[in-house]
Amino acid sequence: MGVTPSDNTFIHSNFLLETKSSIRLYHEYAKELPIIDYHNHLSPKAIAQNTVFNSITQLWLEGDHYKWRALRTLGIDEKYITGTASDQEKFVQYASAVPYMIRNPLYHWTHLELERYFGISALLTESNAIEVFQETNTLTTSKDFSTQSLLKKMKVESLCTTDDPLDTLEHHKTFADNTITMQMLPTFRPDKSILIHASGFNEYVHLLELKTEIPIKSFDDLCEALQERIDHFHTLGCRLSDHGLEYIPFREATQSEIDRIFAKRREGKELDTIESEKFQTALLLFLGKAYQKLGWVQQFHLGAMRNNNSRMFQKLGPDTGWDSIGQYPIALSLSKFLNALDLKEQLPKTILYNLNPADNEIMATLIGNFNDGSSKGKVQWGSGWWFLDQIDGMTNQINTLSNMGIISCFVGMLTDSRSFLSFPRHEYFRRLLCNLFGNDIEKGHLPNDLPWIGKIVSDICYYNAKNYFDFK
């Protein structure tokens, strides 16, 4: 490419690979595998319409709150982040900031993405910002950089978007009706129906009534309406749910108590914490049973403390970079919840993600309580998530799962991203995984049996996920 590379290419073929065994594991057993991205926040509309973006800024920087947080920390005005500055001005500001992101995963991801999508090996700086902007724009505005082309380039076999029960899923249907071999499947995310204490709960229930044409006068009516949406999602290939909660509560209650709590909230009255948790418990149990009947996988992303900066939240809305790691009770209530489903043999396959690394050992050991031999790795501890999808976070997750669980059952990495250029994160994970296994071979901690260790690596990177999810 036209941009002049640095003397020493940073993103080289053996990036992050420290030993001969690591290099062989990656290049022979991981590198060429397809990608199953079973959790992300990509736009189904953009995928179905095969969108071509007007600039690298719109493709790469818009919606990426990882990048936005970094820019704010470096003192860059909001005008150049989510504001009115031109695409070129925003890109130049980002480029000027990248050298100061050293040791943050964004530094690695930025250069991986420039190399893999654009063939640019030069380090991004203020001095080459305009040149990179112009060169990448020549490509991003072409059909070769449409959303579907980008996904094909990264060998994405299946991806699962994140969708509200009210979504029509029209774009999933349109895409499925095409002859494209790649799958785009919806994921059922019913958080707005679970968070009964939230200010918009009653409005949401009303919209659910309109969507399903089911009058929601009781808790059972709510369950009926959600079941109707679950069934609709299932017909369009959905095989996963997702829940983004601070923690999973567990407070048992009678049917009459739940009906009373629901009626109280529908009347516009506030609930105390115990009332909210009783409702949430009842609804999560209903949903878990519904998922199990259809063979779905339920996912729980736990521990985020969201929208901390109320001033900026009011200005920009959610998912704009004002979230952090929370500190919530996890172990006891989560165990009781899983146990309640298991007691009736109604526990679906489950993936648990923690945002607080203090909960690592809890998760690694808790999953073993509910792996009952009915399927390989039925209950999973998911990969390092959000603030933890970096070298230390992923390494700690892999090592803890290895020590306290069975790493060979692990379903591997996902992007959890809103960016169409984020798929090198799978490569990042694969390199780290191969480096860990390869280093263990060199130390004598694992046998020097590359075909067998390579199979384990391939399973974690691709085959376990392919076999775990019931994607048709």
Question: In this predicted model, what pLDDT tens digit does every residue of 200-209 receive, in sequence order?
Answer: 999 999 999 9
| pLDDT value of position 380 | 98
> Are both 251 and 339 inside the same structural domain?
yes
| pLDDT value of position 449 | 98
Split into its structural domains, the chain has a count of: 2
Select the more confidently predicted residue: 110 or 2. 110
117 pLDDT higher than 50: yes
Tokens of residue 53, six digits: 């973006």
As a whole number, mean pLDDT of residues 445-452 equals 98
> Are both 364 and 410 inside the same structural domain?
yes
Is residue 15 a part of any domain in this protein? no
Q: Please state, in angstroms and as integers, the Cα–Cα distance from residue 325 to each residue in 63, 246, 307, 322, 331, following that order.
A: 20, 10, 11, 11, 17
Domain end residue (candidates: 143, 158, 176): 143
| pLDDT value of position 96 | 98
| pLDDT value of position 3 | 55
As a whole number, mean pLDDT of residues 72-91 equals 98
Domain end residue (candidates: 143, 162, 196): 143
Is residue 293 a part of any domain in this protein? yes
> Are both 461 and 400 inside the same structural domain?
yes
Exposure string of 193-232, with b = 16+ CB inside 10 Å and e = fewer, is bbbbeeeebeebbeebbebbebebeebebbbebbbbbbeb
Domain end residue (candidates: 143, 159, 179): 143
Q: Which of 4-18, 214-228, 311-325 has the lowest mean pLDDT?
A: 4-18
> Are both 317 and 420 inside the same structural domain?
yes
HSE (CB half, 13 Å, CA atoms) of 385? 24
Residue among 296, 249, 298 nearest 272 (CA): 249
> Are both 65 and 180 inside the same structural domain?
no
Calpha distance 331→418 (Å, rounded): 30
| pLDDT value of position 154 | 97
> Are both 178 and 313 inside the same structural domain?
yes
CB distance 399 to 436 below 8 Å: yes
> Are both 130 and 245 inside the same structural domain?
no
> Are both 232 and 182 inside the same structural domain?
yes
Is residue 3 a part of any domain in this protein? no
Tokens of residue 316, six digits: 């920009």
Is residue 428 a part of any domain in this protein? yes
Q: Please state, in angstroms and as integers, the Cα–Cα distance from residue 133 to each residue in 2, 87, 128, 363, following that order.
A: 12, 9, 8, 43
Per the structure, the complete domain to which residue 96 belongs is given by: 53-143
| pLDDT value of position 7 | 44
What are the residues facing 297 on neighbouring strands? 240, 349
> Are both 123 and 217 inside the same structural domain?
no
Calpha distance 459→434 (Å, rounded): 12
DSSP state of 14: T
Calpha distance 348→292 (Å, rounded): 4
pLDDT band at 472 (very low <50, low <70, confident <90, very high): confident
Helix (H, G, I), strand (E, B) or coil at 183: strand
Rounded to a whole number of angstroms, the distance between the first and last alpha carbons of the chain is: 40
Calpha distance 367→297 (Å, rounded): 14
5 pLDDT higher than 90: no
| pLDDT value of position 362 | 98
> Are both 267 and 390 inside the same structural domain?
yes
> Are both 120 and 157 inside the same structural domain?
no
Digit-coded pLDDT (tens) for 370-409: 999 999 999 999 999 999 999 999 999 999 999 999 999 9
CB distance 71 to 93 below 8 Å: yes
Is residue 9 a part of any domain in this protein? no
> Are both 247 and 325 inside the same structural domain?
yes
Mean pLDDT, the chain, rounded, equals 96
Residue among 348, 463, 367 nearest 406 (CA): 367
Calpha distance 168→67 (Å, rounded): 31
As a whole number, mean pLDDT of residues 130-151 equals 96
- For residue 398, the domain's CATH number is 3.20.20.140
pLDDT band at 470 (very low <50, low <70, confident <90, very high): confident
352 pLDDT higher than 50: yes
pLDDT band at 8 (very low <50, low <70, confident <90, very high): low
Is residue 359 a part of any domain in this protein? yes
- For residue 74, the domain's CATH number is 1.10.2020.10
| pLDDT value of position 14 | 97
Is residue 98 a part of any domain in this protein? yes
Contacts 24+ apart (CB under 8 A), 265-269: 265/196, 265/197, 265/201, 265/202, 266/202, 266/205, 268/202
Is residue 13 a part of any domain in this protein? no
| pLDDT value of position 35 | 98
